[in-house]
Chain A
Amino acid sequence: MRPPGRRALPIQLLIYLAVAALAVAAALYAIEVMRMRGIQAGFGFLKNTAGFEIGFKLIRFDSTDSYGRAFVVALLNTLLVSGLSVVLGTAIGLLVAVARLAPIPAIKAAATMYVEAIRNTPLLFQLLALYAVSLAVLPPPRDSITVVGLALVNNRGIFLPSAGMTARAALAAIALVLLLAAYGWLSRRRSLGRPVLALTAIIAVALAASTLASMDWVVPKVLGFNVEGGIALVPELAVLVVALSLYSAAFIAETFRSGFLAVPAGQWHAAFALGLDRAATIRGVVLAQALRACLPALASQYINVIKASSLAAAVGFPDLMQVFGKTTLNQTGQAVEVIALTMAVYLVMSMTIAGAVHGYERRVAMER
């Protein structure tokens, strides 16, 4: 394999020039098309009034707010969905991985069936099926399912009691935090003994109870065809988080499993020889080593979760893709800017995670 000869140089240069010329021509054409359609290029539109409502938001937003604020609201929704799914998916994935490695055939078979069923069907299929089936099964608001008299479940979503802060609740909460901090600080200096622990626990429980009791609770109630009061989790959010976590859990379980298998058998044997049981061995010896081995693969699963959260657009949950990639794009017609911005946000999120893991790996590698 000789390096490319000198003769190749002009040909390469020609190819680069041709590609560059093509890109410039396409860009010029696009600018011309946009001018003909009367679209002002640039990101100035972010200051304009959005004029649409967003069904689920973490911060205040109404139709008089700007596209820029809609962008922030949508981005927060994407982060909420991804964050919840990552946490739930990791927890379920860890359980499934342990089950797949269990020396008990029935449990192993159940976990394997779960992983195969999830991995061999599309995520969008699972999402749409879960959405359709749960909307069909759940009752209308009038016949809501009541959970312990506090929460309501119906086909409009899950309604939890909301808690407003009051001065008394805040005082009790501050006292609780101070108590726990003081106990933690003292117990690190010298051992405090059981009576002190019991007394602290009793006071802490009492303080926690009084915090909860003196908060301003609003229990959701059915009024006619609707539900009043409380925190509303729209069904789209619930379905999206459940589908995403179940899907990612199957892949995360496989990641953990290969991480566990990468831990040498001698580590297990050594732990057993020390008299640790299976659970203690996993917690104290194997888990930390397995995590280190599977961290890069785990990070790429988390990136996949963030990317997959864009399927919110299929069930109409207002995430970044739905609010920006669909609604804003259709209203403003600023296709290039909107798509570039949306892609850039996902790219930044992916690269941040990848970069963080890369940095961590290098640090760990140096410590070895």
Chain B
Amino acid sequence: MGTSAASRWNVSVQSNLRTGRAHSPSIWQRIAPNRASAVALLLALLVVGVAAPPMFQWAVLDATFPGSARTHCEVRGACWLFVAERLPQFLYGYYPAPERWRLHLIAAGIAAWCAMLMLPAFRRRLDVAIGAISVGLAAGYVLAAGGMFGLPKVETNLWGGLFVTLILSLTAMVASFPAGVALALARHARNPILRGLSGAFVEIIRGVPLLAILFLAVVLIPLFIPADGGIGLFARVVVGLCLYASAYMAEAIRGSLQSIPRGQFDAAAALGLRYWPAMRLVILPQVMRRAIPNIINTFIQILKDSTLVLIVGVFDLLGMVNLAVSDPKWMTNSTEGFVFAGLVFFVLCFTMSRLSLRAERLLSKGEGRVP
């Protein structure tokens, strides 16, 4: 540090006097540019100072942690023992303990897929990525359900916790991708029947609550499909969630489809491309690129809304936490359980929302540049 802050300030004030231009603000001027800001800052610090110590006392000082060799919790502080004791259920539901390695394998597969997306060679191959995750998810279902290849069968009513949250929302996300593209293209098509059908589907699904769609799937599918008890509750919920996700994905994609200039369609036609080659080679790559922020936002919405399955009796992470705190033994520890669930959801959604922002910024940089 050759030049101290003070001398730099001097220089900036001097140059300021000379040129009459504003100098670059110091750290204090940035935090509190005027008197109102200073008052607000002090008030904020006061609120934090009043609220933080009791919260810290509750969450850390008075709390009972799992490592402390105590089997009971202090009455005053937080009981993290409860979260630790119920953690297997929060993560796996009632999935039998000796079979949990299968879920770890699935998680490792998903992590590997995410890592693959980071590789530059795969970043541009959306089709490969979607194909890989579709095959992977199908394999994951087979692995988790068992009953094949010598694996013991695990009924879906034992599935639960974070595993169900992730597999449900991933399935809905992956399935909604091709369905959303198809619906968006159909709504953009010249054929009025196709346009009407896809428009009606999307508008009806988006006009009613997800809960109504879940009830519809759970109650009506057995009425219309001639198979006695063949389709379990879990599968029906998956269908409902996929219908819902497809409609919102269609809107996310249609938005950017409409923003593609008419000239792109004409140029593709001028090159002699028929409908599908034109879409695949010219239109869809641009549509996807522009739709990425919207698509990620739809993913966040799907992840958050997948919690609604607990109302129809599929116990995801939130459902397991809600179940655990209604146990009389842990009744007074509901706050700890919900803090845990909230943190998990926040980390997942916040990461995705940062990704969406980054994609938006990258896109706005590339936009309008002539290659």
Contact = CB atoms under 8 A, between A and B. Distances in A.
Contact of B318 (A109, A120, A122): A122
B335 interface: yes
B190 to A, nearest CB: 7
Given A122-B318, A351-B207, A105 B37 contact: yes
A1 B215 contact: no
A326 B215 CA distance: 9
B275 A124 contact: no
A139 to B, nearest CB: 14
B274 A310 contact: no
Interface string A23-47: 0001101100110000000000000
Contacts of A117: 346
Contacts of A343: 204, 208, 212, 216
A127 B317 CA distance: 15
A177 to B, nearest CB: 40
A104 B223 contact: no
Interface size class of A (residues with CB under 8 A): 35 or more
A325 B215 contact: yes
A318 to B, nearest CB: 15
B350 A116 contact: yes
B18 interface: no
Contacts, number: 158
Interface in A296-327: 303, 307-308, 310-311, 313-314, 321, 325-326
Nearest to B268: A1
A106 B34 CA distance: 12
A121 B346 contact: yes
B349 A120 contact: yes
Contacts of A116: 350, 353
A120 B350 contact: yes
Interface in A1-21: 1-4, 12, 16
A110 interface: yes
B255 to A, nearest CB: 13
B332 to A, nearest CB: 6
Contacts of B211: 310-311, 313, 321, 325
B308 to A, nearest CB: 6
A92 to B, nearest CB: 18
B199 to A, nearest CB: 13
Given A107-B40, A136-B331, A121 B212 contact: no
Interface stretch (A178-186, A263-271, A334-342, A356-364): A334-342
Contacts of B275: 1-2, 4
B232 interface: no
Q: Is the interface of A mostly helix, strand, loop or mixed?
A: helix
A128 B345 contact: no
A133 B216 contact: no
Contact of B224 (A30, A122, A314): A30
Nearest to A137: B335
Interface string A97-113: 00000011111011000
A133 B335 contact: yes
A321 B209 contact: yes
A125 B338 contact: yes
B104 to A, nearest CB: 25
A119 interface: yes
Given A34-B223, A132-B334, A346 B208 contact: yes
B311 A314 contact: yes
Given A121-B346, A122-B305, A122-B318, A132 B224 contact: no
Interface stretch (B25-33, B89-97, B116-124): B25-33
Interface string B194-235: 000000000010111111100110011001111000000000
A109 B30 CA distance: 13
- A120, A326, A329 — most chain B CB neighbours (10 Å): A120
Given A120-B346, A132-B334, A329-B215, A1 B37 contact: no
14 contacts: A105-B41, A106-B43, A120-B345, A121-B342, A121-B349, A122-B303, A124-B308, A125-B318, A132-B322, A307-B210, A310-B211, A339-B216, A350-B208, A351-B207
Given A110-B44, A336-B220, 9 more contacts: A1-B278, A12-B191, A105-B30, A105-B41, A106-B37, A120-B349, A314-B311, A321-B215, A342-B208
A-B interface, 9 closest residue pairs, ranked by CB to CB distance from nearest = A120-B349, A129-B338, A132-B334, A310-B209, A122-B304, A350-B207, A1-B269, A307-B209, A106-B44
